[in-house]
């Protein structure tokens, strides 16, 4: 049986591949990172029945595309089945990524006395887990070390935002509401993600003028912000503390605006 082209171009890395991603991500000084996760909203023509479910926090109907990228901005996991009203944490819980997280590559490494598995970096809208790391919630009570960790992590997360920008600039159908039936939209979105990987693997560049078009579209369809998700697992907390100590021990403390 032939494999789906989408599954051929978008697939979870094996342990060797994930370890190589982590080695390259470590140029940002943080060890054990194999991917960056984020959600972005894609405009759709919603059904009349259940319309409200698709309306996001900015007031326009969408599907949420949850994507994980490697250090080169290529998607290795996507999920685009949840309507726009869903919080990123809910999108995560309903995804195959979350349900099969125990099968993700681990390649355990000792960092500051803690055995850490390979992890994915998310923003504050996601839960803190042993395989999904995020920065500290912005607070006047943060220590300089905690603030510095969050700033380092924020600079790392730019990679997934850039991948999303390239995706939409290449495939304009993702920028504005199309006339596709809403039930077909997830397939269309996934196909665009697969084609993005195809282009990236062949070093097919993106025109800067295309990226500028995204800024104009953002005024029409502004991306909704997500509330902080407070869920913190003990293993996730221990992993974050170990990485915070590691950065403070080996690299200069950084300050910056935290989201």
pLDDT tens-place string over residues 14-26: 999 999 999 999 9
Nearest to 38 by CA among 2, 1, 72, 73: 73
151-187 residue pLDDT tens: 999 999 999 999 999 999 999 899 888 888 999 999 9
- Per the CB < 8 A criterion, the answer to whether 232 and 195 are in contact is no
pLDDT band, residue 3 (cuts 50/70/90): low
Q: How far apart are CA 217 and CA 197, in angstroms?
A: 23
Q: Give Cα separations from 109 to 32, 93, 239 (angstroms).
A: 8, 26, 11
- Per the CB < 8 A criterion, the answer to whether 12 and 98 are in contact is no
Residue with tokens 């995804």: 95
How would you label 203-231 residue by residue, b for 16+ Cβ within 10 Å and e otherwise? eeebeeeeeeebeebeeebeebebeebee
Write down the mean pLDDT value for the chain. 93
- Per the CB < 8 A criterion, the answer to whether 194 and 10 are in contact is yes
102-134 residue pLDDT tens: 999 999 999 999 999 999 999 999 999 999 999
Give me the long-range contacts of 153-156 (CB less than 8 A, separation at least 24). Answer: 153/30, 153/121, 154/256, 154/258, 154/259, 155/28, 156/25, 156/28, 156/30, 156/33, 156/36, 156/121
**Average pLDDT of 229-241?**
95
Q: What percent of the chain has pLDDT over 90?
A: 81
Pairing relationship of beta strands 109-111 and 62-69 according to DSSP bridges? unpaired
| Torsions phi, psi for 106 (to 5 deg) | -110, -55
**Average pLDDT of 9-34?**
97
At 182 the three-state DSSP class reads coil
């Amino acid at each position: 049986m032939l494999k789906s082209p989408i599954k051929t171009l978008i697939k979870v890395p094996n342990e060797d591949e994930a370890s190589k991603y982590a080695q390259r991500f470590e140029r940002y000084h943080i060890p054990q990172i194999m991917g960056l996760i984020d959600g972005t909203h894609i405009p759709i023509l919603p059904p009349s029945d259940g319309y409200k479910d698709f309306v996001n926090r900015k007031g326009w109907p969408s599907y949420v595309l949850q994507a994980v990228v490697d250090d080169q901005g290529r998607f290795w996991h996507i999920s685009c089945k949840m309507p726009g009203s869903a919080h990123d944490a809910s999108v995560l819980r309903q995804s195959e990524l979350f349900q099969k997280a125990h099968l993700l590559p681990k390649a355990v490494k000792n960092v500051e006395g803690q055995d850490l598995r390979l992890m994915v970096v998310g923003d504050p809208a996601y839960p803190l887990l042993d395989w999904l790391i995020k920065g500290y919630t912005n607070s006047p009570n943060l220590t300089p070390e905690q603030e510095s960790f969050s700033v380092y992590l924020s600079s790392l997360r730019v990679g997934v935002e850039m991948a999303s920008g390239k995706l939409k600039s290449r495939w304009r159908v993702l920028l504005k509401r199309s006339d596709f039936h809403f039930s077909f939209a997830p397939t269309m979105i996934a196909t665009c993600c697969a084609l993005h990987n195809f282009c990236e693997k062949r070093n097919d560049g993106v025109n800067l003028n295309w990226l500028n078009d995204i800024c104009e579209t953002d005024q029409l369809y502004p991306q909704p912000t997500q509330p902080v998700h407070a869920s913190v697992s003990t293993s996730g907390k221990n992993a974050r503390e170990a990485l915070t100590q590691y950065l403070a021990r080996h690299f200069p403390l950084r300050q910056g605006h935290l989201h």
